[in-house]
Amino acid sequence: MGANMAGTTSVMNTLLKIEQEVSKTKKSLKREGEVDKRKVILIDTPGWWPYASVKETSESVKQEIMSSVAMCSPGPHAVLLVLQSGVAFTEAHRRSVKEHMELLSRNVWKYCIVVFTRGDWMGTPTIEEHIESEGEALQWLINKCGNRYHVLKNNQRCDRKQVSELMEKVEMMARGNTELLTPAEAVMEECEIDWESEYLKLVEKADKKSDSGCGSNWSEQDKLERGSFNLEPPHMHEEYITKWLENTEIVSDFRTLSDF
């Protein structure tokens, strides 16, 4: 994954040793091949404008990004977040990357490795010096990805050692994760079921309290809580659940300012 012109297709071509013209990806593209005698499946997703918020990205691109997880069922071991070397990584870039990556899941960072393309454009002797010189925005992103990063020189005749080292980092990360990345749609369904379940538990608890015959002993707080159950329960349609989840996400964002 990555913004437009970051080099996501070049990364796929380098890993699979594919010689073809690089063009703008409009739909998620699936390719299979062999890397270091190991079968791999790679999904190349459409990019977004580098400074754009997720609200400014077209629905078709967002849908392609979200559906890409299901293209390698039951889910991917890793997400390669592609950044282009030689281009300053600003706060606007950081916010854009965060919003688009979390289209997959808010838990996506456990599966991420930052891949810098065109390593010969970096301008500093080491990747560590590059990360330090770029400032807080890039340092935040590297930290969010568990300090996992790699540099690729996108050249078909380049040393294959850089590819082997990336595969080693992917395998090491995969061993540390107990499960694969879950598609966003599955997460939504789980949240809907849990919400309804909790609501029904509250209603059942209130009904039992009403049958106990001790209503005269209720406190003012009890009466207030019991009165709330006399209201019509909300209709549990998809639009309601989506809005509820969005509000929950906003609250969780404010809880930890460092995650902004």
Question: What's the CATH number where 125 sits?
Answer: 3.40.50.300
Looking at per-residue pLDDT, the higher value among 187 and 63 belongs to: 63
| Separation of alpha carbons 100 and 52, rounded Å | 9
**Terminal Cα-to-Cα distance of the chain (whole angstroms):** 20
pLDDT at 99: 96
* Three-state secondary-structure class, residue 114: strand
251 pLDDT exceeds 90? Answer: no
Same domain, 152 and 238: no
Helical (H) or strand (E) element with 253: helix 238-255
Exposure of 220 in the CB half-sphere (CA atoms within 13 A): 0
Same domain, 217 and 162: no
Closest CA to 97 of 80, 122, 120, 76: 80
pTM: 0.69
pLDDT in tens, 6-51: 999 989 989 998 876 566 668 999 999 999 889 999 999 999 999 9
Give the pairing of strands 38-44 and 79-84: unpaired
pLDDT in tens, 195-250: 445 445 555 655 555 554 444 444 444 443 333 333 333 444 455 445 545 554 44
Locate 142 and state its tokens: 């590297």
Same domain, 163 and 99: yes
**The one-letter amino acid at 120:** D
pLDDT in tens, 70-89: 898 888 999 999 998 878 89
| Separation of alpha carbons 223 and 167, rounded Å | 61
Same domain, 228 and 159: no
Q: Does residue 3 sit within a domain?
A: no
pLDDT in tens, 136-162: 999 999 999 999 999 988 665 667 899
Same domain, 232 and 114: no
pLDDT at 33: 93
- Parent domain of 54: 8-176
Looking at per-residue pLDDT, the higher value among 252 and 64 belongs to: 64
Same domain, 141 and 237: no
- pLDDT more than 90, % of the chain: 45
Same domain, 50 and 108: yes
Q: Does residue 245 sit within a domain?
A: yes
Closest CA to 241 of 183, 206, 198: 198
Same domain, 207 and 146: no
4 pLDDT exceeds 60? Answer: yes
Q: Does residue 2 sit within a domain?
A: no
Closest CA to 141 of 54, 82, 86, 187: 82
